[in-house]
Amino acid sequence: MMERLIENSAQLILLLVLAPLVTGVIRTLKARLQTRRGPGILQPYRDLGKLFRKGMVIPETASWIFAATPWVVFFSTVLVGLMIPMVAADAPLGLFGGVLAVIYLLGLGRFFLALSGMDSGSSFGGLGSSREMTISALAEPAMMLAIFTVAIGAGSTGLTDIAGAAIGQHWRFLAPAQMFAFAALALVLIAETGRIPVDNPDTHLELTMIHEAMILEYSGPYLALIEWAASIKQLVLMTLLINCFWPFGLQPTWFGFGAVEGISWLMAKLLLLSCAIVLLETVNAKMRLFRVPELLAVAFTLGSLALVSTFLF
């Protein structure tokens, strides 16, 4: 009982602290690749700190949904963060749900975010909500196929079991089924975290934004909560991808020196994945909204290939 509590607290602190850092690293790397200096990797912390100290403007037309949403989004994302294996293969709150619960809890956050987008009555919010729900719906079948492939390989949808199965065979990610599933999940990750070429997290251009359009009316601490939750979600999905496919350095428990080693491995792998994302974002332009279904169709095809290869090879 006590051990669980310590594990949960440790992972909670790691989540809350590491998430803005990953966002900062990605931004800085991207700036460097575009020969800009960039604001420095600590800028997301400064942004959050400033937002938390500020006042808020709440739209006159908004209801209690507007005030409840940041909390629902933040709590559901943090809960998801505790349900995945980060440093130890054993997820602290693994009992609360496996990979399906992770997806559906993120869905709960998105549901409320989309509602809050429509709450103020501004047309941008509706635009963002409509696009967000469309894209996430189209991403779902590809994600589920890839997850089914992984779950079939591990014999479980529990993330502790999935990571455990991966630890047993370090080089398993080279199997065709795993590679296809990885590619499908990577595409879905791009769509889910709102990165180029699906959405651009840095834009506030009226016609192209998706996530930013939904949260346009938020300010101050509520905006900080949503931004923080968005970076935690990004960290969670990246970690999920990493630990299901490249389990190197994943420790059996959170206790002892292993934890330091586990955290270093996690950071190294996150850095690698961030570099890949930065490269992808820099060499690609944002897609037209109606081209996104094609990208997700590619993901779906990869997912199907993954599934078929589980028993072909």
Partner 1 sequence: MTAELFLSGIIVWLAGAMTSLVLWRRPPTARRVGCGAALGGSLLVLVGSAAAIFSGSSPEISLPFGNPVFSWAIRMDPLSAFFNGTLAALAAAVSLYSFGYLRPMEGRRNLGAFGFFFNLLLLSLALVFSASNAFFFLVAWEVMALTAYCLISFEHEKKETRNAGVLFLIMSHAGTGLLLIAFLVLSSVSGSLDFTSFHLLASRLPPLQQGTIFVLFLFGFGVKAGLVPVHIWLPKAHPVAPSNVSALMSGIVIKTGIYGMARVFFDFYGPIPLWMGTLLLGLGVASALLGVLYALMEHDLKRLLAWHSIENIGIILMGFGAALMFRSLGYANLAALALIAALYHTFNHAMFKGLLFLGAGSVVQATHTRNMERMGGLIRRMPVTALCFLVGAVAISGLPPLNGFVSEWLTYQALLAGFGTTHSLTRLMFPIAGSLLALTAALAAACFVKAFAIPFLALPRSEEAADAREVSFPMRAGMAVLALGCIALGLGATWFVRVFDPITQQTLGVRASSALVMARGWALSPGTAHGGTISTAGIALFFLLAGAAFALPLAMRWRRRSVRGPAWDCGLPGLTADNEYTATAFSKPLRMIFSALYRPRREIQAEYEVSPYYPSAIRFESEIEPTFEKHLYDPLRQWIMAVANRMKGIQAGSINLYLAYIFLTLILLLLFGVRQ
Binding to partner 1 (CB under 8 A) within 186-205 occurs at none
Instruction: Rule CB under 8 A: say whether 126 interacts with partner 1.
Output: yes
Return the bridge partners of 251, or none.
Answer: 88
Of residues 61 and 282, the one with the C-beta less far from partner 1: 61
96-125 residues in contact with partner 1 (CB under 8 A) are: 96-101, 103-105, 107-108, 110-111, 114-115, 118-125
Angle 220-245/2-33 helices, nearest 10 degrees? 100
Strand partners, 88: 251
Q: Are 252 and 89 in contact (CB under 8 A)?
A: yes
Tokens 């905006």 -> residue: 223
Angle at CA 94, nearest 5°, toward 82 and 23? 30
Cβ 30 vs Cβ 38: under 8 Å: yes
Of residues 145-174, which lie at the interface with partner 1 (CB under 8 A)?
145, 148-149, 151-152, 154-159, 161
Shortest CB 30 distance to partner 1, Å: 28
Distance (Å, whole) CA 5 – CA 10? 9
Nearest approach in angstroms of CB 152 to partner 1 is 5
Residue 39 binds partner 1, judged by CB under 8 A: no
Q: Which stretch binds partner 1 (CB under 8 A): 41-49, 136-144, 227-235, 257-265?
A: 136-144
User: How many chain residues bind partner 1 (CB under 8 A)?
Assistant: 86
Rounded (5°) CA angle 292-294-297: 115
CB of 242 to partner 1, least distance (A): 20
What residues between 204 and 223 interact with partner 1 by CB under 8 A? 216-217, 220-222
Of residues 258 and 293, the one with the C-beta less far from partner 1: 293
Site string for partner 1, 61-100 (x = CB under 8 A): xxxxx-x---xx--xx-xx-------------xxxxxxxx
Considering only 54, 170, 204, 288, the residue that binds partner 1 (CB under 8 A) is 54
CA–CA gap between residue 70 and residue 215 (Å, rounded): 10
The answer to the question of residue 56 lying near partner 1 (CB under 8 A) is: yes
Of residues 263-292, those binding partner 1 (CB under 8 A)? 289-290
Answer whether 103's CB lies under 8 Å from 146's CB.
Answer: no
CB 129 within 8 A of CB 110: no
DSSP state string for 91-117: -TTGGG--HHHHHHHHHHHHHHHHHHH
HSE, CB side, 13 Å, CA atoms: give it for residue 233.
27
Supply the minimum distance, in Å, between the C-beta of residue 106 and partner 1.
10
Q: How far is the CB of 271 from partner 1 (least distance, A)?
A: 30
Place of tokens 């196929």: 145
Residue from 30, 131, 195, 233 touching partner 1 (CB under 8 A): that is 131
State the minimum distance, in angstroms, from the CB of residue 50 to partner 1.
Answer: 13
Please identify, using beta-carbon distances, which residue of 221 and 258 lies nearer to partner 1: 221
What are the distances in angstroms from CA 183 to CA 180, 271, 289, 301, 307? 5, 18, 21, 10, 13
Among 6, 57, 260, 279, binds partner 1 (CB under 8 A): 57
